[in-house]
């Protein structure tokens, strides 16, 4: 190959490399590259596997919630006891609808976030500076596994994450049937007690009325006796007067 051909090949190669470099720089300055959604955080410690971890914020800068799927590959149930965001703010945990605790059954999973699911809410999101696009450290605390630290991406509750945004806490579980029966039993006992009190008051009222009647009768007898005594006294006085008059004669 002649020297002129070699020089031409090198020049073409140099131009191609320069073009690729400029293209890469242009792509780096293109704001559309920031719209690519990063992979969601995940963590595995022992039998606990946490996937798709995100902190989801509200558009108005209000509270934030955590969305994640927690798997328990062990043989014992686990309970999510706490969820802490650095520098120490604890999320308010709420069980799923009709549940009392945030339990991850052995061989099963627990969903955080979404309608009627368990929820972990940070009411002080602004105070602890939870900002969209940042990554926040979280610590999941379990009854058996203990603390599991992760880093989660903060995203707004829009598009794919809209259904995982902060919502009202799930409704309180309905009381057990035994509790309802116990309540009815207490009400029944109260009703019977009130009825007994009513009967006792009625009996007392009847006794009081009988006593009043008896008192009226005794007073009447006393009145008749007084009248008789008063009638006899003038007669006796009259007899004594006649006797004295006879003696004078």
User: How confident is the model over 103-113, as a mean pLDDT?
Assistant: 97
80, 93 in Cβ contact below 8 A? yes
Name the band, by pLDDT with cuts 50, 70 and 90, for residue 143. Answer: very high
Which residue would you say has higher pLDDT here, 163 or 97? 97
Q: Flag whether pLDDT at 21 surpasses 90.
A: no
What average pLDDT does the chain have?
70
Q: How far apart are CA 238 and CA 229, in angstroms?
A: 15
Residue 55: pLDDT above 90?
yes
Percent of all residues in the chain with a pLDDT value above 70, rounded to a whole number: 51
Given this model, what pLDDT does residue 191 score?
47
| Residue 59 φ/ψ, nearest 5 degrees | -60, -30
Which one, of 139, 115, 134, lies nearest residue 57 by Cα?
134
Average pLDDT over residues 214-243: 44
Residue 59 has pLDDT above 70, yes or no: yes
What residues contact 73, with CB distance under 8 A and at least 6 apart? 47, 48, 49, 107
Share of the chain above pLDDT 90, in %: 36
Q: What is the mean pLDDT of residues 196-206?
A: 54
Query: What average pLDDT score do residues 215-240 get?
Result: 44
Most confident residue range from 28-32, 206-210, 230-234, 237-241: 206-210
Cα distance between residue 220 and residue 94, in whole Å = 79
Beta strands in the chain (DSSP E): 41-45, 48-57, 64-72, 78-85, 89-90, 92-94, 103-104, 109-112, 119-122, 135-142, 146-156
């Amino acid at each position: 190959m002649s020297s002129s051909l070699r020089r031409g090949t090198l020049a073409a190669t140099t131009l191609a490399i320069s073009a690729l470099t400029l293209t890469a720089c242009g792509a780096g300055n293109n704001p559309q590259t920031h719209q690519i959604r990063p992979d969601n955080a995940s963590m595995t410690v022992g039998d606990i596997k946490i996937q798709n971890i995100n902190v989801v914020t509200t558009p108005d800068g209000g509270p934030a919630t955590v969305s994640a799927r927690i798997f328990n590959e062990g043989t014992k149930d686990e309970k999510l006891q706490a969820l802490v965001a650095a520098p120490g703010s604890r999320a308010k945990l709420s069980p799923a609808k009709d549940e009392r605790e945030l339990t991850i059954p052995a061989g099963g999973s627990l969903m955080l976030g979404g309608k009627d699911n368990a929820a972990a809410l940070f009411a002080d999101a602004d105070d602890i500076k939870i900002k969209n696009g940042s990554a926040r450290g979280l610590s999941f605390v379990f009854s058996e596994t203990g603390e599991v630290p992760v880093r989660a991406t903060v995203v707004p509750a829009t598009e794919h994450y809209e259904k995982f945004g902060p919502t009202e806490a799930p409704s309180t579980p309905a009381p057990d049937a035994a509790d309802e029966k116990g309540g009815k039993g207490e009400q029944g006992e109260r009703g019977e007690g009130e009825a007994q009190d009513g009967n006792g008051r009625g009996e007392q009222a009847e006794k009081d009325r009988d006593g009043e009647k008896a008192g009226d009768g005794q007073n009447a007898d006393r009145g008749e006796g007084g009248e008789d005594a008063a009638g006899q006294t003038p007669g006796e006085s009259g007899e004594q007067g006649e006797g004295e008059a006879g003696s004078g004669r």
